[in-house]
Amino acid sequence: MTSLRAFAAPLLAAGLVLTACGEESGSTETSAEGAEFPTESIRLIVPYTAGGPTDIAARSLASYLEEELGETVVVENLPGASGATAYQQLIAAEADGHTLSMTALPTAVLNYLVNDVGYTREDFVPIGVATQVPSALLVPGDSPHQDLESLFEAARADPGSVTVATPGATNTHAAETQRITELYDVPLTVVPFEGGSEVKTALLGGNVTAGFTNMSQDMLPSLESGELRALAVGTEEQLDYVDAPTFTELGYPELTQSTTTFGVIAPAGTPDEVVQELEDAMRSATEDPEVVEALDPNYVPEEFIGSEGLEELFVDVEETFGDVLGG
């Protein structure tokens, strides 16, 4: 792929020619299209604490983008309010491409559907997708429920008795658990925790009946050892690294919306040419073998999802969960 800096060079040269012409005619205006991007360091906000999947994706991308764009990319963790703290900082920044944020869908959308957080998707410009991490419904290895139907039958027989741990109250997994109850009359009780590691701890300690969470790198060893078992995965097709059928195969075709998408967004109003340059840089990053290895090949989409595709995911989440959450 042609270097973005190589692509930017002719544009800069053209801008210098235009400037010279303007000086000869007595004008000091510079064409906006001739402006170079970036002209300063880029701030990449992470809405969560360091060490999680969003942070890992951000730091893997940042090192590549620095080389591709020729400016420092500073990763800044701003956790709080399920991402709202970071997004509020983002939309308050100048819309010139020098302030970006990681985002996690559906959580980002669910947050503004449920709460007054001062933003909606109209305040963002999607850039592209870094990774997508599927989810699964898990039980402890010694659970009496050997399959999904056994768990659901227990819930129907004794409403409220089957507790499902989720990594948050306003996120993909909590909302999808609510959809199971509403769409299929399976009365599950959501028990929210602060993150996936807390869900795993609750499962291993026998404090909940089941857990609905990401199949991220930190969960897989417990599945491989047999400490945890996956009853179903929330993807359209089976995963080659998780031994479990899909909800669709088990007769629950609606339950395909729990995958967490980690992407990059900019403030609304960011110039189209800047968005395009950032999108091209992300596409190049997700095709680089070293970046893919750092992100984990299990989670990098086979085909890059750019600005338009990420925008469609925002809309899909609103349409899927809006009624369930009263939005």
**Rounded CA gap, 101 and 292, in Å?**
20
Q: What percent of the chain is predicted at pLDDT more than 70?
A: 88
DSSP for 178-247, please give it. Answer: HHHHHHH----EEEE-SSHHHHHHHHHTT-SSEEEEE--TTTHHHHHHTSEEEEEESSSS--TTS---BT
C-alpha count within 13 angstroms, C-beta hemisphere, residue 281: 29
Mean pLDDT of 198-214: 96
**Angle (CA) 49 54 59, round 5°:** 90
**Which amino acid belongs to residue 310?**
L
Distances in Å between the alpha carbon of 73 and those of 40, 228, 234, 245?
A: 9, 38, 34, 40
Mean pLDDT of 210-233: 95
**Angle (CA) 183 111 245, round 5°:** 40
Q: What is the pLDDT of residues 47-99, one digit of tens each?
A: 988 877 788 889 999 999 999 999 999 999 998 887 889 999 999 999 999 99
Mean pLDDT of 123-137: 96
Mean pLDDT of 238-249: 96
Average per-residue pLDDT for the chain: 88
Q: What is the pLDDT of residues 282-320, one digit of tens each?
A: 999 999 999 999 999 999 999 999 999 999 999 999 998
* The predicted structure's pLDDT at residue 23: 39
* The predicted structure's pLDDT at residue 69: 96
* The predicted structure's pLDDT at residue 48: 85
In terms of DSSP bridges, do strands 260-267 and 99-105 run parallel, antiparallel, or are they unpaired? antiparallel
Residue 280: how many other CB atoms lie within 10 Å:
18
Q: Sorting pLDDT into bands at 50, 70 and 90, what band is 325? A: low
Residue 102 has pLDDT above 70, yes or no: yes
Residue 22 has pLDDT above 60, yes or no: no
Strand order in the sheet with 135-140: 189-192, 163-166, 210-214, 135-140, 228-233
Q: Whole-prediction pTM value?
A: 0.82
Mean pLDDT of 110-138: 94
- Angle between helices 172-184 and 107-114 in degrees, nearest 10: 70
Q: Sorting pLDDT into bands at 50, 70 and 90, what band is 253? A: very high
CB 270 within 8 A of CB 96: yes
Mean pLDDT of 93-107: 95
Least confident of 18-32, 36-50, 132-146, 224-238: 18-32
Strands, DSSP E only, in the chain?
Answer: 42-46, 73-77, 99-105, 124-133, 135-140, 163-166, 189-192, 210-214, 228-233, 260-267
- Residue 268 CB contacts under 8 Å (≥ 6 apart), including other chains: 91, 95, 122, 123, 124, 125
Mean pLDDT of 23-42: 59
Domains and CATH numbers, the chain: 40-133+260-321 (3.40.190.150), 136-233 (3.40.190.10)
* The predicted structure's pLDDT at residue 78: 92
Residue 28 has pLDDT above 70, yes or no: no
Q: With the C-alpha atoms ordered 263, 123, 108, 182, is the resulting torsion angle positive or negative?
A: negative
